[in-house]
Amino acid sequence: MGKNIAIAGVTGAVGQEFLRILEQRDFPFDSLKMLASSRSAGKKIMFKGAEYTVEEMTKDSFAGVDIALFSAGGGRSKEFAPAAVEAGAIVVDNSSAFRMDPEVPLVVPEVNPEAIAENKGIIANPNCSTIIANVPVWPLHKANPVKRMIISTYQAASGAGQAAMDELALQAREILDGKEPTISALGYQLAFNVYNHDSPLCDNGYNEEEMKMVNETRKIFSCPDIAITCTCVRVCVFRAHCESINLEFENPITPEQVRELLSTAPGVTVMDDRENNRHPMPIDASDKDDVYVGRIRQDESIGDNRGINLWVAGDQIRKGAALNAVQIAEKLL
């Protein structure tokens, strides 16, 4: 049975990916509203053979809407999501606005789908880096509790939006032409460079992205005591994040056991070809649904075979954002 769907922030990179995924997965709907800011109102978008007109999002936009997929930024989510709920919609919100609200489920469908039923009108989509880490770590944690996670991220320009992706391409052309690179959408030159993630630094010296990964993973896993530390950086890649994940388990575990657990884990593809030194790369994960996992090896610095290293790659716009939200919406159906 179809539902009446609204997409808030439809003209952005994630909004456009919502449309692609809804079409690819043949998501059943009776009607579709495309919402954006006033500057995008009136734009025409073709979807499944029909032309839609983008409407300006207001607090009156959600009458008759059953599910609203939001990717319009935290401020607009706080402003308009309560109005959508009041109108009877369930909001799946891609921003950080509600993630740590104890009344709001924070969901990765491969990890905690049961939390969806606890919603009071809003379900939060986790941070992209959190999702990409959680999908492969959860099946391991279920089999053998993880005591400590050390994560280093290599985050693509897509995490900062379409403007950042466009600027990365522009900067590369400018630098190769011997020109000064344009820096406006991004904080620094990203082409041929790596820098600390763009999010603000907290008092403890961690950036906000790092603290999101810590706090969100604890909430999604329902495991407030798990020790997590992160270093998040931006790298000159268009749209897939990579992460180095070091895990310390309660009990001994071998790389062979990890490979076996991940070989049947939902949303995971194991790419761990030591013989040919072939492991996940951003070009493997781009435009794909799964999180790719390789470099599976024992951490020999931790005694009793309780340590494992992983290297993962996942598409930031798909599984890190739009796909995860659509999977939540599918569960709501």
The domain locations on the chain are 3-125+321-332, 130-316
- For residue 7, the model assigns a pLDDT of 97
Q: Which residue has the tokens 């690819």?
A: 24
- Give the residue from 314, 265, 294 showing the smallest Cα distance to 140: 265
What is the pLDDT averaged over residues 204-212?
96
Active site residue 128: yes
pLDDT at 214 over 90: yes
pLDDT at 18 over 80: yes
Q: What angle do CA 105, 109, 110 make, to 5 degrees?
A: 130
CA distance 71 to 64: 20
Q: By the 8 A CB rule, do 275 and 196 touch?
A: no
CA distance 74 to 86: 18
Residue 269, both tokens: 């593809």
Domains 3-125+321-332 and 130-316 share a fold: no
Give the confidence band of 96 by pLDDT, cuts at 50, 70, 90: very high
pLDDT at 56 over 80: yes
Bridge partners of residue 291, in order along the sequence: 268
Of 270 and 74, which is predicted with more confidence? Answer: 270
Q: Where are the extended beta strands (E) located within the chain? A: 3-8, 29-36, 44-47, 50-53, 55-56, 67-70, 90-93, 122-124, 146-155, 194-196, 227-235, 240-249, 268-270, 291-298, 307-315
CA distance 159 to 72: 14
Q: Which of the following is catalytic: 128, 230, 232, 242? A: 128
- For residue 41, the model assigns a pLDDT of 92
What is the pLDDT averaged over residues 266-295?
97
Sign of CA dihedral 18, 19, 25, 27: positive
- For residue 147, the model assigns a pLDDT of 98
Non-local CB neighbours of 314 within 8 Å, separated by 6+ positions: 128, 131, 132, 135, 240, 241, 243, 285, 290, 291, 292, 320
Percent above pLDDT 70 for the chain: 100
Q: Which of the following is catalytic: 197, 241, 242, 279? A: 241
- For residue 70, the model assigns a pLDDT of 96
Distance of CA 28 to the CA centre of its chain: 23
pLDDT at 2 over 80: no
pLDDT at 93 over 90: yes
Q: Compute the mean pLDDT over every residue in the chain, rounded to the nearest whole number.
A: 96
- For residue 1, the model assigns a pLDDT of 62
Sign of CA dihedral 98, 101, 103, 109: positive
Bridge partners of residue 166, in order along the sequence: none
Superfamily of structural domain 3-125+321-332: NAD(P)-binding Rossmann-like Domain (3.40.50.720)
Active site residue 241: yes
Distance of CA 48 to the CA centre of its chain: 25
pLDDT at 64 over 70: yes
Each residue of 165-175: pLDDT tens digit? 999 999 999 99
Q: What angle do CA 277, 323, 207 make, to 5 degrees?
A: 70
From residue 139, alpha-carbon distances to 46, 79, 133, 243, 264 in Å are 39, 36, 11, 17, 9
Total count of residues recorded for the chain: 333
Instruction: Tell the CATH topology of 130-316.
Output: Dihydrodipicolinate Reductase; domain 2 (3.30.360)
